Structure 1
Amino acid sequence: MDLLKDANLLNELGPLLSAEAAAEAPAAGVDAADLEQAVWVRLLEGGPAPEPADRASWLRRAVRAEARGARRRARREVPYGARPGSAGAEPEDAALHGEVNRVLRSAVARLPGRCPELIGALLSPRDLTYREIAGELGISQGSLGPVRSRCLGCLRRMLAAEVAAPDLRGRER
């Protein structure tokens, strides 16, 4: 691109790009250097180069577009450590998550028949496949779905009876 061959381009756009990126970065939740880099990449990969008279406005639009993209990505992305009970979670969240797990495990243990084994296998941190669960329990893979459905229905009814359901107006009974 003959625009980039111009050695004065970095000198001309560099300070403006740094200032624009520094202004937009805090609201976007990204580092200003990352915004600068994204705009330089956009300039390198872009189609027609901006005209010399239009370079400043193109640069401002490009920085704002990259900042909008960063904000959209930040809304969609969830860090791995953000789950309750994880090492980086608040102590209150970890305690609440632990209590929910204890209540759930207690209810699963009270299920009839093979349900405790099946639900325990489904909740296993080993993330077993249906084939592996069927092999461990000694039942056919085809009957695993209907049995799972019956067990979950029983668990749902059991937990619904233990937890007070709110009235239509949001008051507890």
Structure 2
Amino acid sequence: MTHDLLTTLRPLLAAEAGAEAHAGAGDPADLEQAVWLRLLERLAAAGPPPDPHGWLRRAVRAEARRARRTARRERAHDGEPAGAEPGPEALALGAARGRALRAAVRRLPGRCPRLLEALLSPRDLTYREIAGELGISQGSLGPERSRCLGCLRRLLAGEVAAR
């Protein structure tokens, strides 16, 4: 029975995995393997599904969604190995970017410099603490932050374009 089920589902699984992988879910072989594993777990726990073809289609889609979520969270590593200290060039570039950002923040209008400095603070302040420091309501921080970041974005875009 199990062998017949696997033989029957093999072409459908290949087609479904190929289609989902083409839609951005990664490698079809990885997707197939994940679904086979799910099926074997299902067979061991509850026996064969009542509608094997429908179950297989749903399982492929679920595994494809999981693969896409995982891919969005994972980042390719390009640089120093984990735990390695950055080199002097990386430290200098990072410090220069930080100085440029803080200089641009100081040129912003109104309360924006104080708000963004508080948000960039190494003390990692909460919204409640920032609102208390600035003397404004906590509910207005989000909209104010959005306006300030928009101003900063326009200011920096102009500087990047000028270079």
Residue 140 (structure 1) aligns with:
136
| 8 A contact 2:13–2:56 mirrored in 1 | no
CA deviations 1:86-123 (Å, max 9, x no partner) are xx53139xx7x959954434422443565333113334
Q: Find 2:7's aligned residue among 12, 16, 40.
A: 16
Residue 39 (structure 2) aligns with:
39
Report which of the two structures shows the higher radius of gyration computed on alpha carbons.
Answer: 1
Residue 112 (structure 2) aligns with:
115
Normalised TM-score (structure 1): 0.49
Normalised TM-score (structure 2): 0.51
* 2:66 equivalent to 1:73: yes
Q: Higher relative contact order by CA 8 Å / sep ≥ 6: 1 or 2?
A: 2
SS of equivalent residue, structure 1 residue 91: coil
Q: Find 2:79's aligned residue among 83, 86, 91.
A: 91
| 8 A contact 1:130–1:141 mirrored in 2 | no
Q: How many residues align?
A: 139
* Mean Cα deviation higher: 23-32 or 111-120: 23-32
Aligned-pair distance for 1:27? Answer: 0.6
User: Percent identical across equivalent pairs?
Assistant: 45
Change (3 A) 1:22 1:65: closer
Give, as a single letter, the amino acid of the residue that structure 1 aligns with 2:136: S
- The two structures, once aligned, show a CA RMSD in angstroms of 4.8
Give, as a single letter, the amino acid of the residue that structure 2 aligns with 1:90: D
CA deviations 1:121-154 (Å, max 9, x no partner) are 334577644212112x241325645654553354
Give, as a single letter, the amino acid of the residue that structure 1 aligns with 2:159: E
